[in-house]
Amino acid sequence: MKLDTKEFEEKMQKTIKVLEDDYASVRVGRASARILDKVKVNYYGTPTDLSSVANIKTLDARTLAITPWESNLIKDIEKAINAADIGINPQNDGKTIRLCFPPLTEERRKELTKQCSKMGEDAKVALRNIRQIANKKIKDMKNSKEMTEDEQTASEKSVQELTDKYIKEVDVVVAKKNKDILEV
C-alpha cells in the first residue's frame, strides 16, 4: 500500500498560501489595501479587521483613503494603524484617514528583497518539515509491515517529487515579489 500524499500536498499548498499572504503585507511603494489586512481596530472592545469597520479606497498609485462607517472610530483606526507598524503615518482630517506611500529608496528596496527572500527560505523549511513528517510516516508503515520495501521507495520518491514541485513554486513566488519590489 503506497502512501496517500494528498494530505501532505494540502499542507504544502497552505504553506504557499501563507507565504503569499505574508507578502501581501510587505509594502512595495504603491498603495495597496492588502497592507492593512492584519490591522485590527478596537471595535467596542473587540479586535476587528479594519475592512469590517471602514471603507478602504485606493485614490491613486500612492494614496489610500480609509473612511470609517462610524465617525467615532477614526481615532481607534488611527491608533490601530500606528500600532500595526506598517511604516506609514496616517493623516487624519476628521472624516477620512489618508495613507500616503512614499517612494522606496534603493536601500529600502534591497532590505525588502532580503526580507522576502528570508520569508521564502522559511517557507522552504516548512515544506521540508512536511516532507520529513511524510517520510517518518512511510518508515512507520514499512516497519509495521503495511507496505513493502518497493512501496516505501516509491512513496519516498513521490513525496520528494512533491516537495521539489512546491520548492520551485516558492522560488517563483519569491522571484515575482522581488521583481515587484525592485520595480521603480
Spell out the domains of the chain, with CATH numbers in brackets.
6-23+105-182 (1.10.132.20), 30-100 (3.30.1360.40)
Axis-axis angle for helices 149-182, 106-143 (nearest 10): 170
Instruction: Work out the angle at residue 26's Cα, subtended by the Cα atoms of residues 162 and 20, and round it to the nearest 5 degrees.
Output: 20
Cell of 97: 484617514
- Judging by DSSP bridges, how do beta strands 40-43 and 46-49 pair with one another? antiparallel
pTM score over 0.85: no
One-character DSSP codes across 47-74: EEEHHHHEEEEEEETTEEEEEESSGGGH
Closest Cα to residue 54, out of 92, 100, 25, 23?
92
Closest Cα to residue 167, out of 113, 115, 128, 119?
128
Q: Express the helix, strand and coil content of the chain in percent, nearest 5 each.
A: 60, 15, 25
Cα separation, 180 vs 184, whole angstroms: 9
pLDDT at 147 over 70: yes
Model pLDDT for residues 104-127, shown as the tens digit of each residue: 788 888 888 888 999 999 999 999
Provide the pLDDT for residue 121: 94
Provide the pLDDT for residue 11: 92
Provide the pLDDT for residue 169: 94
Identity of the highest mean pLDDT range in 5-9, 90-94, 150-154, 166-170: 166-170
Cα separation, 176 vs 180, whole angstroms: 6
pLDDT at 4 over 80: no
